[in-house]
Structure 1
Amino acid sequence: MTTDPLRLTRDVDEATARLLDTAAAFDADDVAAPSLLPGWTRGHVLAHLARNADGFVNLLTAARTGETIPMYAGTAARTHDIESGAARPPAEHLTDLRRCSERFAEAVAAMPPQAWAADVQTRRGPWPAALLVWGRLREIEVHHVDLTAGYHPDAWSVAFARRLLHEVATGLTTRTDAPAMVLRFDGGAHETTVGDRADAPHVQGPAHELAAWLIGRSRGDLLTVVPDGPLPTPPEWI
């Protein structure tokens, strides 16, 4: 998958359209039903996705103008916005998602080329503005799965799954709580290593299944371990 943010905008548009189609089919009971995320309903996930888009608009604006604009007003404000929006009627969720997605697209379109080189302040530290479009795509694709509404990791594009897998695996290399393992995907043609390779189990399977397992969105039923044994236990993802 390209690192050019403008070439990822089509992927974001398509992922957004799929998400909106899912949200459009929800009734009040659907919105109140549990999501994959502990303690969150589908309404919480939808509210988070909407506020996340607005947060990325803040960061894009910061990159474009040079102002110091945080992604969210604060942790408490972020939590309040999600909790207060979770129980809204389905039509309000849909309208909110559509409008915030449009604001995100407009903010991307307003970025001059030089602004993509800026660093912005996310909840977890500084981030290159050039990664913000990828960040939004990742949020949409992963949280769409969290809605438990028929969208599964096997629907991810190969390019998205590979990039997510690489990003997550790379992040694990700096964590002391990550088990050593060799991740082999696409029929064993590609692999990435976490920790000390010596005696590390090889975990094999499709890229989307490996990525989903590492981020807690799959039990890894399609994965195999060599030598035969249980799957390692990845640490909690972000």
Structure 2
Amino acid sequence: MTEQTNTELLAALDAAAAELLRHLPPLTDAQAAAPSRLPGWSRGHVLAHLAGVCAAMARQVEYAERGETIEFYDGGMDGRNQAIERGALRSAAEHREVLARGTGQVLDRFRALDQAGWAAPISYRGGTVRDGAEALWRELVIHLSDLDIGVDPDTWTPAFAEHLFSFLSARVPDDLRLRLQPLGHLPRTIGGGARTVSVNGMATDIAAWLAGRQPSLDSLRADADADADGVALPVLLPWPAGIPQR
């Protein structure tokens, strides 16, 4: 698949932010405090984390525009964790307000970039502003599904699934080669090990599995060349992260 242009990536970010905000108005205070799909986190924790990521990424872009880099989270991981615990206690209305403001600010930062700005270095993963935009895209889309408010991975776009196939190839163990065979899409191979396992199913189910999430459509089947009866889905490595991720 051809890599998205910066304009296409910005449009995908706009759509992801709008989809998140569109699903928040019905949320009550009790629902915000209820468990999410992430172990040990309420929906409020997920929403506070998203707000923190938006603020942190806006900060990355701000400093990149000055030719500087700065630590991703203000106060490091301790600051990040404390902000999530505090933010998790917000009311549903406060979550909506903070996220509307936060997504608006970070998207404004991205919209103002010229071509050189997208390539400017940031501290996050030792990458560029464009890498940061892709990271924000992942956070907005995947964590909306984690909220368990009626949006599942089967709603992910083909472009997002393709992006995860590439980004999450880092989760393939060294001894393994995965032949991904999404229905209706061209197959692709990730990993360079000697043992090959084919994973067949809907593209969104394969992407959800690679992301450590429950596939929505239960379409996955794994096959090894030497076993015609199918095999268990392989155990993947941890999520690739420049800083600890949930």
Q: Shared fold by TM > 0.5? A: yes
What is the distance in 1 between the residues matched to 2:6 and 2:51?
Answer: 20
What is the distance in 1 between the residues matched to 2:163 and 2:132?
Answer: 14
What is the distance in 1 between the residues matched to 2:141 and 2:43?
Answer: 15
What is aligned with 1:201? 197
Percentage of pairs with the same residue: 33
What is aligned with 2:178? 181
What is aligned with 2:85? 83
What is the distance in 2 between the residues matched to 1:188 and 1:94?
Answer: 37
Q: CA deviation at 1:110?
A: 2.4
**Offset from partner CA, 1:66-123 (integer Å, 9 cap, x none):** 123222120100001111000110000000000001101211122232122221101x
What is aligned with 1:231? 233
Q: Conserved in 1, the CA contact under 8 Å of 2:32 and 2:43?
A: yes
**Further displaced range: 153-162 or 214-223:** 214-223
What is aligned with 2:44? 43
What is aligned with 2:244? none
What is aligned with 1:212? 208
SS in 1 for 2:8: helix
Letter in 2 for 1:162: E
Letter in 2 for 1:172: R
What is aligned with 2:145? 145
Q: Conserved in 1, the CA contact under 8 Å of 2:177 and 2:189?
A: no
Tell me, which stretches of 5 or more residues in structure 2 are unaligned?
241-246
Q: Answer yes or no: is 1:52 the counterpart of 2:53.
A: yes
SS in 2 for 1:49: helix
What is the distance in 1 between the residues matched to 2:6 and 2:137?
Answer: 10
What is aligned with 2:168? 168
Normalization by structure 2: what TM-score? 0.87
Tell me, which stretches of 5 or more residues in structure 1 are unaligned?
none
SS in 1 for 2:231: coil
**Further displaced range: 96-105 or 131-140:** 131-140
What is the distance in 2 between the residues matched to 1:235 and 1:103?
Answer: 34
How large is the RMSD of aligned CA atoms in angstroms?
1.9
Q: 1:188 to 1:197 in 2, by over 3 A?
A: farther
What is the distance in 2 between the residues matched to 1:161 and 1:61?
Answer: 29
Q: Conserved in 2, the CA contact under 8 Å of 1:64 and 1:112?
A: no
Q: Answer yes or no: is 1:222 the counterpart of 2:222.
A: no
The number of residues matched between the two structures is 232
Letter in 2 for 1:160: F
What is the distance in 2 between the residues matched to 1:102 and 1:188?
Answer: 34
